Chains A and B, each alone.
Chain A
Amino acid sequence: MRFPYKPSPHIKANVSTTHVLHTVLLALLFVAAWSIVIQYINFGADYAIRAVFIILTACATAFVTDIAFYLIKTDGVKYTTLGERLKATLPKAFKEAPLVTALILALSLPVGIPLYAVIVATIFAEFIGKLIFGGVGSNLFNPAAVGIVIAGLAFGSTIVPPDAYAGATPMATIASHYNWRITEAVGVQFICNHCSLGHIFFGAVRGGIGEAARPAILIALVFLIYKKVIDWVVPVVFVGTVFVATLIFGSYLCLGLWYPVLHVFSGSLIFGAVFMATDPVTTPVNRQGRILFAIFLAMITLIIRFNATHTEAMGFSILIMNMFVPFIDRKTGNITTSKPWAKAAVLCIAWVCAIGLALGISIMLG
């Protein structure tokens, strides 16, 4: 009997990339469900229905964008009927994981955003962020972050005014009025009048749809780490660096321990740390690189938070760090500097430099 020749090894993994994407999707759906419930409990059915519409719109748009893209790009294959062409397109569209991108994007948007803005942002995320580079696996930038930045820059002013929906988020108040440089009195007044840290944690404060579901995000984090889908060092190092840096900044402003906690639990920081900073495609491949990525991601997030006019830092900092991923990969792949102590030393120096730079720039400009 004759057999075909195949290269060794003759054993294959029992988990597939598709399986990994489905696990992430499951975690995202859990967060989405939790945040819809949170919207309903805290602000009423009106908000919850809007949130559902935003999520569904984003998912549908992403899927339609993928189908449209592959209907046009057939790789030279000729189809006689449109039905045949559509049939060949569907599996390709599914493979691009449109729902993962759409959910991350939708959950980062505020409830007050108009639906047409969601559609435009999703098309940008899916097409410019992913398909144009050659699909999932080849994209340089995190597609969801592309959409978030588009939504923020192009449609920031169209978000329905405070009384009707969303409202000035506590994040926005602190960020735009004070650029996070608050005094003890302002902070205490703010926390007494508007909310408590507990309120912020449980999402009783207006903000992005998904970022309010912090307990759900933490459960999703534990689930994803348990399933070995994401590397735990990225969120831990990122949040840890933000905490330490803001603790130092807080003591510079003579503020208590609540200040770094407020930083960590406000805005999309936790959401971004779990779902965007851990995206394998747009982050470094090895652990040393991933830690470097997390450290400098924290640095850029803080610099934007302390100094920029735009309130939402996560999307920008993710995109900026995405550009450095090939560079980080190349430098950390060098086997001549692969001694563990050398790696640890590089990381320690990078960590100190990142915190120093973030605080130095902020204090200097402030």
Chain B
Amino acid sequence: MPFFSQRKSVVIRNSKKMTESQPVLKYLKPKTVAIPLKYMQSEHFDRHVDIGDSVKIGTKLAAGKDNIILFSTVSGKVTAIEKRDHVSLKKADHIIIENNFLDEKALLIAPVPDLKTLTKERIGAYPNGVLGMDMSVFTKKIHTVLLNGICESYITSNEAGMLVDTDLLFEGLLLLMKNSGAEKGIITVRKNFESLLDVLTNTAKKYADHPIEIKAVEDILPMCQGHTPLDVGVLTVDTDMTIAFARFLKTGIPQYERIVTLSGEGFRKPQNVQVRIGTLLKDVVEAIGGYVEGLNPKHARLVAGGAFRGSSVITDDLSILSTTNAFLCLTDIEKEVLPCIHCGTCIDYCPVGIQPVQIAAAGKSHELLEKLGADRCVGCGHCSSVCPSFIELTSTTTKAKAFYLSKK
């Protein structure tokens, strides 16, 4: 009932204006790329190449647990293996490859030119790691596959990708539907980005014999509250991933390029850039014209990801990963923290219905944290972003959650 927990949403529309109408800059010839021997939480990889080895696009560099494969994104020579800064803030081993600009390719799997011929069994037979997602096990019956075309604040890279690879998006969606047994596919896009909406509606006509629906929705956060999509039989997939997945099966070479949004007041010309995965961020920043003049990094933030959930990084000497869709350089965020006046705004906006202000006041009382449901926090960042006293409630709540779980 919205009366008791108002469950308000934040409108994030305006932050996307910076980059949505800019053309995508192609930065596809980096001198070197650095591929980290780290993928999400996995850090243990068996290296398959050594310094001096020549590699092609798609050559296996290392393999880890759960069939995760790291591969080269340029053709050239491995020149070094060194510890470098990583988006996760911890240093990690990186394989440095010097580009010979020949773009020779090595196939990882046999390409399937017509994706319609793939059967469910064939898709299931690919090892999970190759596809980058678990394609076989669903505990609940999936009736709808939903491709979420709405990203976080500032980020338009996924929309740029959908504009370029519209056909791959639809083919990927059909594959996902076939694999999960869903009867319906939905692609959501934001209402106020009409050019993308037009392109998708036109392409959908080509697939009129399939139950695919294009839905224009409001650009707000959070989109759904109270349930996880899987609870109600909906599989939500990122559009970037769907396109990469379809392209991989079609060409046999895993995703080696991606579009990344560089946005925020700190960049001189915020825009989307298509880059090789592993390209160094500082090179890309230079290519788009650098930071604004007189930027004092002490009063700015460099963020990998969106403004709500993205994580602050300490340097721009990082390699761009397949999972980073944006880098934001934000200025003028810091505000003096004021005393909490118990206004309850954080409660109104919490998507899971907990009370950050009370959790912050509960301190180390385990019993209270249990009653207040501290473990339900998803770290979405809404409480901090709406607090009129600028208190870092997301930090206090996630810390309280960690404390609660550690003492359980």
Q: Which residues of A contact B (CB under 8 A)?
A: 1-13, 15-20, 95, 135-138, 231, 280-281, 283, 285-288, 329-330, 333-336, 338, 340, 343-344
The answer to whether B309 touches A9 (Cβ under 8 A) is: yes
Name the one of A8, A12, A329 contacting B312, with C-beta atoms under 8 angstroms: A8
Q: How far is the CB of A330 from chain B (nearest CB, A)?
A: 8
The answer to whether A9 touches B381 (Cβ under 8 A) is: yes
Beyond A12-B385, A335-B354, A335-B372, whether A5 also contacts B312 by CB under 8 A is yes
B339 interface hit (Cβ, 8 Å): yes
- Interface positions of B from 343 to 396, Cβ below 8 Å from A: 343-345, 347, 353-355, 357-358, 368, 371-373, 376, 379, 381-382, 384-390, 392, 394-395
Q: List 12 A-B contacts (CB under 8 A).
A: A3-B301, A7-B392, A9-B307, A9-B385, A13-B387, A16-B335, A17-B343, A135-B339, A136-B339, A231-B344, A286-B4, A338-B353
Q: How far is the CB of B395 from chain A (nearest CB, A)?
A: 4
Q: How far is the CB of A14 from chain B (nearest CB, A)?
A: 9
Which residue from chain B places its CB closest to the CB of A136 in the assembled complex?
Answer: B339
The answer to whether B330 touches A333 (Cβ under 8 A) is: no
The proximity string for B residues 306-332 relative to A, scoring 1 for CB distances below 8 Å and 0 otherwise, is 011111111110000000000010100
B102 interface hit (Cβ, 8 Å): no
Name the one of B330, B354, B379 contacting A10, with C-beta atoms under 8 angstroms: B330
The answer to whether B297 touches A17 (Cβ under 8 A) is: no
A245 to B310, CA, bound (A): 53
Name the one of A7, A20, A329 contacting B341, with C-beta atoms under 8 angstroms: A20
Beyond A16-B388, A18-B338, A335-B372, whether A3 also contacts B358 by CB under 8 A is no
Closest CB pairs A-B (n = 5): A9-B381, A137-B339, A340-B1, A335-B373, A11-B307
The proximity string for B residues 278-295 relative to A, scoring 1 for CB distances below 8 Å and 0 otherwise, is 000010000000010000
The answer to whether B388 touches A20 (Cβ under 8 A) is: yes
Interface bracket on B: 35 or more
The answer to whether B3 touches A340 (Cβ under 8 A) is: yes
B271 interface hit (Cβ, 8 Å): no
Q: A16-B335, A287-B6 are in contact. List 15 more A-B contacts (CB 8 A).
A: A1-B291, A1-B302, A1-B315, A8-B379, A8-B384, A9-B382, A11-B385, A12-B333, A12-B387, A13-B385, A17-B338, A137-B389, A287-B4, A287-B344, A334-B371
The answer to whether A7 touches B301 (Cβ under 8 A) is: no
Name the one of B297, B372, B392 contacting A334, with C-beta atoms under 8 angstroms: B372
Residues in chain B near residue A136, CB distance under 8 A: 339, 341
The answer to whether A1 touches B312 (Cβ under 8 A) is: no
A138 to B361, CA, bound (A): 12
The answer to whether B309 touches A8 (Cβ under 8 A) is: yes
The answer to whether B355 touches A4 (Cβ under 8 A) is: no
Which residue from chain B places its CB closest to the CB of A3 in the assembled complex?
Answer: B302
B340 interface hit (Cβ, 8 Å): yes
B300 interface hit (Cβ, 8 Å): yes
The answer to whether B353 touches A9 (Cβ under 8 A) is: no
The answer to whether B355 touches A333 (Cβ under 8 A) is: yes
A330 to B362, CA, bound (A): 10
Q: How far is the CB of B290 from chain A (nearest CB, A)?
A: 10
A338 to B309, CA, bound (A): 27
Q: How far is the CB of A284 from chain B (nearest CB, A)?
A: 8
A336 to B1, CA, bound (A): 16
A15 to B56, CA, bound (A): 53
Q: How far is the CB of A318 from chain B (nearest CB, A)?
A: 15
Highest count of chain B CB atoms <10 Å: which of A11, A15, A286, A330: A11
Residues in chain B near residue A13, CB distance under 8 A: 345, 385-388, 390
B145 interface hit (Cβ, 8 Å): no
The answer to whether A11 touches B153 (Cβ under 8 A) is: yes
Beyond A13-B385, A280-B343, whether A8 also contacts B311 by CB under 8 A is yes
Q: How far is the CB of B197 from chain A (nearest CB, A)?
A: 26
B298 interface hit (Cβ, 8 Å): yes
A20 to B328, CA, bound (A): 30
Which residue from chain B places its CB closest to the CB of A7 in the assembled complex?
Answer: B395
Which residue from chain A places its CB closest to the CB of B309 in the assembled complex?
Answer: A8
A20 to B341, CA, bound (A): 10
B89 interface hit (Cβ, 8 Å): yes
Which residue from chain B places its CB closest to the CB of A230 in the assembled complex?
Answer: B343
B303 interface hit (Cβ, 8 Å): yes
B342 interface hit (Cβ, 8 Å): yes
Q: How far is the CB of A346 from chain B (nearest CB, A)?
A: 11
A16 to B336, CA, bound (A): 10
Residues in chain B near residue A2, CB distance under 8 A: 297, 314-315
Q: How far is the CB of B397 from chain A (nearest CB, A)?
A: 11
The answer to whether B386 touches A3 (Cβ under 8 A) is: no
Which residue from chain A places its CB closest to the CB of B381 in the assembled complex?
Answer: A9
Name the one of A7, A333, A344 contacting B371, with C-beta atoms under 8 angstroms: A333
Residues in chain A near residue B1, CB distance under 8 A: 340, 343-344
The answer to whether B308 touches A11 (Cβ under 8 A) is: yes
